[in-house]
Amino acid sequence: MIAKVTTPPLRIELSGTPREIGLQHGTLLAQQIRGQIRVYDTMFRRTSNLDWDAVRAVSREYQTTLQRLTPDLYVEMEGIAEGAGLDVLDIVALNCRSEIALGLFSDGCSSLGWKMGVTTEPGEGDDEDTGKVVLAQNWDWTARVKENCVIMSIEQPGKPKIFICNEAGLVGKIGFNSSSVGVCMNAIRAKPTDSSKIPVHVALRVCLNSNTASEAIAQLDELGSIASTQHILLADAEGPISMELSPRGDVHIRPKDGDNGIVCHTNHLLENRYVKEYPWLAGSPIRLGRMRKLSAGVARTTPSGTDVTGDVLRNEIFSDTFNAPQAICCQEDPARPIETRSSTLFCIAMKFGHGLKPTAEVVWGRPGSGEEGPVITLGGE
């Protein structure tokens, strides 16, 4: 049987003021945004006993927070709603869907940050200014949203240009900017949530509006961190920072001695003990150990100063199916209700370096499956 190759995603370019960006977004993706609402309506009914009207009611609390803390992004959401012919609460609800869900869904993602050129041998390739930085992940989620996901660029006056793999209707997600700041994310299941703080997808956009990782961290600190416990893997040309964020306190994890400049994360907390975490994805610790083992293997076989290509990352790490279906390259589990089945929808590998233009490679679909689409290159402008 010939494998069916995944159709490449829609690509759109947005620019202008927050309102103009929102209007373009809503107008171009009106069909996809409505599709997302249908998907999440069905999902919330099964997992949270909430229909869409109830979800919108919950989102009113976040609406007030967004108006107060991130007014520009709230104006952008108003524009998305107007362009799509929807109420702004529909868009607010999409942007705080992780918070409303309380992590009850089976989405699992595996992310990796790597400052290349760092070795475990002192004096060899461990100069702070050597090597490039890789930021990569598989994004796992219900396949029913895939047709509503796009590759999006955003140009705003006075801010870096943003490139993101995004769900229609969201103001932020996984990607990078022209200042070499990039983000990945992993969902965490923990309590409490706090609607007086910003949703994680808004926090991702705050990071992508920043010129450096330290600026992004300062912005999140000023905003009081985020409304739910989530993991954001942040990086710039200086290296990766694993941020376990929560409404009660944050923990930042950097590569430790002997880690070859690598930090990995999946869907459970490693060091943040400010919140109560609930048992969730049994495969998360297994995936984390597997990622650490595979990435260390790649580091051992990579000569100092040599770039690790996107092909190597996909072939050696992100296509791995050990412990399937809850593998790094996630497969649907037919034993679960269809609303909560997850699989890897795309793989992104970003690369940054001092004096270099940031770039990324995106593969739409499960890497190594034979059904993934061609490699899509972003950035380099």
**What pLDDT, on the 0 to 100 scale, is given for residue 338?**
82
**What pLDDT, on the 0 to 100 scale, is given for residue 158?**
96
Q: How many CB atoms lie within 10 A of CB 108?
A: 27
Domains of the chain plus CATH, in order, are: 10-379 (3.60.60.10)
Give the residues of the chain that fall short of pLDDT 50: 1-2, 103-106, 121-129
Residue 209, both tokens? 């509006």
How far apart CA 132 and CA 114 sit, in angstroms, is: 8
Q: How many CB atoms lie within 10 A of CB 221?
A: 10
Question: What element of type H or E holds 141?
Answer: strand 133-141
**Does the reported pTM lie above 0.85?**
yes
Report the Cα 146 to chain-centroid distance in Å: 15
**What pLDDT, on the 0 to 100 scale, is given for residue 102?**
57
Burial 333-364 (b: 16+ CB within 10 A, else e): beeeeebebbbbbbbbbbbbbeeeebbbbbbb
Residue 204, Ramachandran bin (φ over 0: left; ψ between -120 and 50: alpha; else beta)? alpha
